[in-house]
Amino acid sequence: MLSDPSASQPGAGRPRQRSNVRLGQFLGSPKAMLGLTVVILFISSAVFAPVLAPYDPNALDIPSRLSGPTWAHWAGTDQLGRDTFSRLLFGGRVALKIAVIGVSVALSTGLILGMIAGYGPKWLDNLLLLAFDTVLAFPTIVLALATVALVGPSLELVLIIVIVSTVPGYARMARTATLALKNDEFILAERSLGASTPRILAHHVLPNVVGPLLILAAMDVPVVVTIEAGLSFLGLGVLPPTASWGTILNEGYLVINDAPFMVVAAGIPLVLTTLGFTFLGEALRDIFDPRMGRGRA
Amino acid sequence: MFFYLIKRIGLSVAVIGLVVLMSFALLHLIPGDPATIALGPRASAETIDRFTEKMHLDEPVWRQFLIFAGNVVTGDLGEDVFSNRPVTQIIGENIGFTLALGAAGLGWAILVGIPLGCLAALRPNSALDRATGILSVGTIAVPSFVIAIWSLLLFAVTLRWLPAIGAGEPGNLPDQLAHLILPAFALGLGWVGYLSRMVRASLLEVMNEDYIRAANAFGLRPGRVIFGYALRVAILPTITLIGLGFGGLISSTVFAEVIFARPGLGKLLYDMVSARNFPVVQGAVLVTTGLYITFVLLSDLIIAWLDPRVRDAL
Amino acid sequence: MNAPHLDIRGLTVDFTTPTGPVHALRDVSFAVPQNSVTGIVGESGSGKSTVLWSILGLLSANARVRRGEILFEGEDMLRKGTDALRAARGQDMSVVFQNPMASQIPVLTYATQMRDILYRKRDLSAADKRTLAVEMMERVGIPDPARRIDQYPHHFSGGMRQRAGIAMALLPRPRLLLADEPTTALDVTMEAQVIHLIRDLATELETTVLVVSHNLGLIAEMCDHVVVMYAGEVVEAGPVRELFHNARHPYTRALLDCDPARITRKTRHLPVIEGSLPDLSAPPKGCIFAARCPKATLHCEAEAPSAQVSGGRHSVRCHFPVTEKSVPDAPRILDAPHATPPDAGDIPLLEVPYLNVRFRTMGPIRARLNGVADPFVDAVLDVGLTVRRGETLGLVGESGSGKTTLGRAILNLTRASAGSVRFEGREVRNLPERAFKPLRRDMAMMFQDAIGSLSPRKTVRALIAEPFVIHGAQDRDLDREAERLADLVQLPRAFLGRYPHELSGGQARRVGVARALALNPKLIIADEPTAGLDVSVQGDILNLMAELQREKGLSYLLITHNLPVVRHVSDRLAIMYMGRIVETGEAEAIFNQPGHPYTEALVRGVPQPDPDQRRTAPPLRGEVPSLMNRPRGCDFAARCPFAKDECRQIKPSQSTRADGRVIACHFPLI
């Protein structure tokens, strides 16, 4: 026992078995597999859209406009005869871009602000909380409408709106987790050893706070994608002729009586993506949620 | 309770103050002449001059803010750029539709979602629980405006069961109700899933608490243990959630009102943004935000009323 | 003797876990005679609580009763339907819970909770039920019950909450009262009160009591019959005197030997039970205790003993029961003398001439609104103490006495409001962290929660090596250092790759010691180093600490509420009450003859693990007053049995005795 060679390697012994068990649980969960499949499909179709798309998304073909699904146009065509399937593939690129940039910036900003609020002095905490509450008080779409009213719609504005409206969520979560940790004895123990505040935050707070935030991030992807699609649907986000799931839905909505198939097709990728990420996030939470996983004795 | 009330209301007032400041700042943070920004490049010189005068844009910024804040406090949100009607009047004409829609959407979601969550929690891993689980993930994930469009397509365009657009004939209640069904359905569907899982999760957690074990050890009836004890505690986070979720509900009403061409604050906001009618936009933003803050405050007060620990804290 | 009130026969319970079934209870049989108090004693993992929940039919969902009978007044509870069982609960039998904080619903008043308990008494009106409830609250000693019954649990202090818990349990006049570790969440002086309350009320109401506890003192003080459990089996059962004076199972003997309160002569080396609990997913074929039993033979390992009855009702499950009389002070305990006697040199290692710590109780705005002129409490008030080189000072007090705050203030983890802290003659109070950091090499701290004080996502290796990283000793071979320290605290190196939640309490404690020792400190402040440890393991840690002190000449400031333990390992004691030190002096002298009435209450407040030393009344009445309204005179006057008018008017000053003892009392006992 004393000279067990495997035990001297980091991560050896029981912890690895544990994460293996978790990985097994994850791979064995139908929810997780379904989510993962959809997410991979979404990412790869967006990345390879130029290769995969059968048509130029902006190529007009007036004679075959507003067709239902055919062999030539799997998802039909719009009012200008553009191929909806190709446009949806390209629309995924916009959604992916917003999701990746929006979520990662919001996550890291929220994490840092939340840890500062939770660990810092009380006045700073109160100040930041007030700021979070104020931002949260503006309903996302209302905030977007108001800013668009002044500066006009653009992709950048959508990103800013997405980030501004989701940062408080991450920050509050990180703050709550940090506050709970702050009074834990192990933080005090680190201080008693002389660990500096940056060291405590980076080595001892961050690893315990980031997990739930990453799960929240996975579950936030649908929210972000929905905000983009919603704003674009209202004509406040990505502007036509650029293909976005929201603009395609809007074009379909305008011809809902003549070509009902279009709103069905345009909604499907949005629904699939949000479902996929939600499933993935749920599966991750089920398996890694600290409350359900490890209860400290 | 008194201190909690003071503190909680004080916080809301502070947030409202900041919101007023931000609504004001919106126009001034963007570089350029505020009047031109607000009215758009195509506005005539005459309109711009009138707007500048009405909004006191020739005054120093701090005075403008004081005038603006003073007006907001006295209930004056300015005038419509085109018709010169008071903004408060325009909002007053629309707010009722939005409140009715929000109440109907949230109302049916609460009536269905909370009992569903309870049933699922009482029989964990039963068929009902699994069905609720799948259903709730599905309804939460699908964006409300997609539900709105699809239900419009199915029930109004294809099946023609329900009217597609408008809020119904004024004074004709059955007609108005018929017009309310689809938007309220689209608005509430996601909430059914949201509420049922929230209730399920917190009820399951509370059922593991020592005091539930104690109640069982004293032989209380299962009904009393579940509804009088467990749900009494488990409902608290759900109430917070409903309060906080009100912001999302307002966002959803914008879509529902636009898609079903229904009058209301959301539709007004949307139309006025397109028309570049800035005072109305500003007023509508202030009112919706104020509504949200009021509802969060209300949910917190309900919690304080239900939970003596919150009441006595601080 | 009457027929047994409760008769458990062959009870066998499994728990389903992801890694297979755990055989938590195996063939548990014992009887509880009518109108008696029976105690189940055992360490953690003995299955004692599982027995309790089996009786109530409230085992967790993954438990399965495989065999056995639980005969309550002749009826088998295990064969009863859900409704019949529920009818018995809260009517025929009732429970007092371990943790009154968690077992009383926070959102309902006591009036509502108690009315609910009486819901079956349909012939009573709501007003009658309330009257009954108020009467019961009065009986358990809650002052002003008619008003306080309309309050919520969080309005009650810990002791009052447990009294209310007892009132709720006794309200339906059950014939059987179950008590699950009823005093574990309470302080020493409250513990004694609760023990007597349950015993007296049970006699008065003719209730049979079954109490579960790990606390030998409580069992000896309270019970008529005792059942000893180990790893899911009953190893010995019998009348309380038989069990404490004539224990026949080697485990019972060892358990009794380990209790520091039973060791009358001061010793630096406490006895322990070597080894650990067997894995209950695959219990051994032979005797369950064989692996840890000093007398085990091949026969013991091969074949499980059956219970043999000897001398009336005393039964023991052992092939070779101990026959010789037990002597309270077991001879194999050696008093290891101090290798390096504390030097009486002129500069003490740590000197605190006086120190104050104040905490704000409410914000300035609220204080103004409430008309509170001074919204602070004094958690530590004019405290002075000295720790010499190589010495152990035991700082003893109940929860809320300020002992932990004092320790943290010395280490600059909590801001002191006034006073002075001198380490090796140098003033260190409230130094900026940068200036204090080098001192952290010399002063280390061990925290109360052994597992919770370890950063949860770091390996033991990283945790032990961390002090070197923090203090810039990175040129060292950290792996070698970690292994050296693990060896030093006798932690097997295999544990270095583990995470804190994979450690037992004792192992985590060793990691804490290793971290404290890493930089060769001169002083270690240890906050409740035996908290959460079983009696058979706590000696291990204390012995290790004593050994390290001998080897390295360390000094300890040992913060604890556990008087019997601290007595054996301390040179001097300081007793704290409401933020002040009321008595200091040589440990033995204080223990033999307390000078302050509070010290005496503490010394006598510990229930003695000897049924012949039962007290007739708890040594102290009442509870610790709130720090927010400190009495005008002596802080202890309200509870002091010797208090006179002078005590209530004038704060006593400290006086030094001939033997060096310092006592803050107008009328000291010596």
What's the complex ipTM?
Answer: 0.85
Q: Is C550 left (phi over 0), alpha (psi -120 to 50) or beta?
A: alpha
Q: Can you tell me the mean pLDDT for C565-583?
A: 92
- Contact A229/A246 with Cβ under 8 angstroms? yes
Q: Hey, what are A287's tokens?
A: 């398996």
CA distance C496 to C464: 9
CB atoms within 10 A of CB A272: 16
B14–chain A Cβ distance below 8 A for any pair: yes
Find chain B residues with C-beta within 8 A of A172's C-beta: none
Which residue in B186, B187, B225, B188 sits closest to B209, CA to CA? B225
Task: Indicate which CATH number applies to the domain containing C433.
Answer: 3.40.50.300
Residue C219 placed within a domain: no
pLDDT at A6 over 90: no
pLDDT category, A59, cuts 50, 70, 90?
confident
CA distance B24 to B264: 23
Q: Which residue of A has its CA nearest to B260?
A: A253
Residue C498 placed within a domain: yes
pLDDT category, B24, cuts 50, 70, 90?
confident
Q: Cβ of A146 and B281 within 8 Å?
A: yes
Residue C473 placed within a domain: yes
Find chain A residues with C-beta within 8 A of B150's C-beta: 263-264, 267
Q: Cβ of B214 and C56 within 8 Å?
A: no
Find chain A residues with C-beta within 8 A of C481's C-beta: none
pLDDT at A8 over 60: no
pLDDT at A19: 57
pLDDT at C616 over 90: no
Which of C560, C590, C607 is the endpoint of a domain?
A: C607
Residue C273 placed within a domain: no
pLDDT at C343: 55
pLDDT category, B134, cuts 50, 70, 90?
confident
Residue C422 placed within a domain: yes
Quick one: what percent of chain C has pLDDT higher than 70? 96
Quick one: what percent of chain A has pLDDT higher than 90? 24
Which of C173, C193, C212 is the endpoint of a domain?
A: C173
Best to test chain C binding among A193, A208, A294 (most C CBs inside 10 Å): A193
Superfamily assignment of B96-305 in CATH?
Answer: MetI-like (1.10.3720.10)
Find chain A residues with C-beta within 8 A of C471's C-beta: 194
Q: Cβ of A7 and C496 within 8 Å?
A: yes
Best to test chain B binding among A134, A261, A262, A272 (most B CBs inside 10 Å): A134
Render pLDDT for C433-474 as a digit per residue (tens, 0 to 9). 999 999 999 999 999 999 999 999 899 999 999 999 999 876
Q: Cβ of A14 and C498 within 8 Å?
A: yes
CA distance C567 to C261: 9
- Distances in Å between the Cα of C59 and the Cα atoms of B3, C50, C230, C648 are 43, 7, 19, 51
Q: Which of C104, C107, C369 sits opposite B307 (nearest CB)?
A: C107
Token pair 């943070």 is at which residue?
B29
pLDDT at A74: 73
**Cis peptide leading into A241, omega within 30 of 0?**
yes
Which of C565, C586, C607 is the endpoint of a domain?
A: C607
Q: Can you tell me the mean pLDDT for C199-210?
A: 93
Find chain C residues with C-beta within 8 A of A14's C-beta: 497-499, 502
pLDDT category, C45, cuts 50, 70, 90?
confident
Q: Cβ of B220 and C116 within 8 Å?
A: yes
Q: Can you tell me the mean pLDDT for B300-312?
A: 87
CA distance B270 to C287: 80
Q: Cβ of B137 and A278 within 8 Å?
A: yes
Q: Can you tell me the mean pLDDT for B100-129?
A: 91
Which residue in A285, A297, A233, A276 sits closest to A37, CA to CA? A276
A152–chain C Cβ distance below 8 A for any pair: no
Residue C70 placed within a domain: no
- Contact C488/C482 with Cβ under 8 angstroms? no
Residue C518 placed within a domain: yes
pLDDT at A293 over 90: no
Residue C587 placed within a domain: yes
Render pLDDT for B248-295 as a digit per residue (tens, 0 to 9). 888 899 999 999 999 999 999 999 888 888 889 889 999 999 999 999
Q: Walk me through the domains of chain A, giving residue ranges and CATH numbers.
A: 53-296 (1.10.3720.10)
Domain boundaries, chain B: 96-305
Q: What is the pTM of this model?
A: 0.85
Q: Cβ of B247 and A146 within 8 Å?
A: no
pLDDT at C461: 94
Domain extent, residue C161, equals: 105-173
pLDDT at A60: 75
Three-state DSSP at B196 gives: helix
Q: Cβ of C452 and A185 within 8 Å?
A: yes
Render pLDDT for C299-346 as a digit per residue (tens, 0 to 9). 998 888 988 877 668 899 999 888 876 554 443 444 444 444 555 566
Q: Can you tell me the mean pLDDT for B89-94?
A: 92
Render pLDDT for C87-130 as a digit per residue (tens, 0 to 9). 999 889 999 998 888 899 999 999 999 999 999 988 999 999 99
CA distance C284 to C273: 18
pLDDT at A17: 43
Q: How many domains does chain C have?
A: 2
Q: Cβ of B217 and C87 within 8 Å?
A: no
Q: Which residue of C has its CA nearest to B306?
A: C107
Token pair 């509802």 is at which residue?
B295
Render pLDDT for B198-212 as a digit per residue (tens, 0 to 9). 899 899 889 988 999
pLDDT at B219: 92
Render pLDDT for A179-231 as a digit per residue (tens, 0 to 9). 988 888 999 999 999 999 999 999 999 998 888 888 888 888 888 998 899 99
Render pLDDT for A77-114 as a digit per residue (tens, 0 to 9). 777 778 888 888 888 888 899 999 999 999 999 999 99
